[in-house]
Homo-oligomer: A and B are copies of this chain.
Amino acid sequence: MDNNNKPLILISNDDGYNYNGIQTLIKVARTLGDVFVVAPAVHQSGKSSSITFINPVRTIPVASEPGYTAYLATGTPADCVKLALSQLMADRMPDVVLAGINHGYNSGLNTLYSGTMACVFEGILHGVPSVAFSFGDYSINADTSVCEPIVKHVTERVLKGGLPKDVCLNVNIPKMDGDFKGMKVTTGDMGRWVNEWEHRTDPSGRDYYWLTGDFEIADKDEGLSDYYWLQRGYVTVTPTHVDQTDFASMAAISDLLL
């Protein structure tokens, strides 16, 4: 990696290196600075912040040229970013971590299960401004090129202005026939999954279950949440942090237990 004045951008995802989403991120990022990629060698959707310690993690180099380095890693999205920031990039920390573009939304509650969000959580835990991008087209072959101007705008602003300490951005981009209506800063809609399993019986008569389901929007913050604005054609940006302490209920819990 050149030690020049260009920004250094780390990119990872959960789908893997050959998806259109990460290739769109790489394309845009290379117009803005030097790029370093560590992507999972095997598809890792739904892995949340899972980490690998029962087995070791290996890296597979896939690109090494001036301004562009890429590895695959045999681990989870969180492993990829940890490995980049603590080992592979130890000589020079990146100026920003970008994750995605996920094929499918990571809005609201779904951030809990998201490997894409795990990447940006590791970014902020290592002190690097971090942005996750997700697109409302779930197909393997989703055309993510429509996201390019959004990625460019947000990345440029974050490179220039930074982000508040310990806060990452969760950007969701709707799939539209026409132009985006605009961009909104939103809350995450903590809805719920219902009809979560499909129960089947195998040819030997044994039960098995497929995880599936329907997402019910809570919309308790009507006019504020990501789902509300995505449905209306807006790009949403949800500031997100790691700490899940419920400060508001500490006194009530003391009354209950102590």
Interface residues of A (CB under 8 A from B): 43, 45-54, 56-59, 78-79, 82-83, 86-87, 109, 111-113, 118, 121, 125-126, 153-154, 157-158, 161, 163-164, 166-167, 169, 183, 185, 187-188, 190, 192-197, 199-200, 206-212, 237-247, 249-250, 252-254, 256-258
Task: Tell whether A82 pairs with B239 under 8 Å between CB atoms, given A161-B256, A257-B185.
Answer: no
Task: Tell whether A244 pairs with B254 under 8 Å between CB atoms, given A58-B208, A211-B53.
Answer: no
Chain B residues with CB under 8 Å of A238's CB are: 245
Chain B residues with CB under 8 Å of A195's CB are: 86
Task: Tell whether A247 pairs with B57 under 8 Å between CB atoms, given A46-B50, A47-B50, A50-B46.
Answer: no
CA distance A208 to B59 in the complex (A): 7
Task: Tell whether A237 pairs with B209 under 8 Å between CB atoms, given A51-B46, A121-B112.
Answer: no
CA distance A29 to B164 in the complex (A): 44
Interface of A is mostly: mixed
Please give the distance in Å from A204's CB to the nearest CB on chain B.
Answer: 11
Task: Tell whether A245 pairs with B187 under 8 Å between CB atoms, given A53-B211, A253-B169.
Answer: yes
A-B CB contact pairs (8 Å), 11 listed: A46-B52, A48-B48, A49-B49, A56-B209, A57-B209, A86-B197, A112-B121, A164-B249, A239-B246, A239-B249, A240-B246
Among B82, B187, B244, B252, the residue within 8 A (CB) of A164 is B252
The answer to whether B239 touches A58 (Cβ under 8 A) is: no
Chain B residues with CB under 8 Å of A185's CB are: 250, 253-254, 257-258
Please give the distance in Å from A253's CB to the nearest CB on chain B.
Answer: 5
Please give the distance in Å from A155's CB to the nearest CB on chain B.
Answer: 11
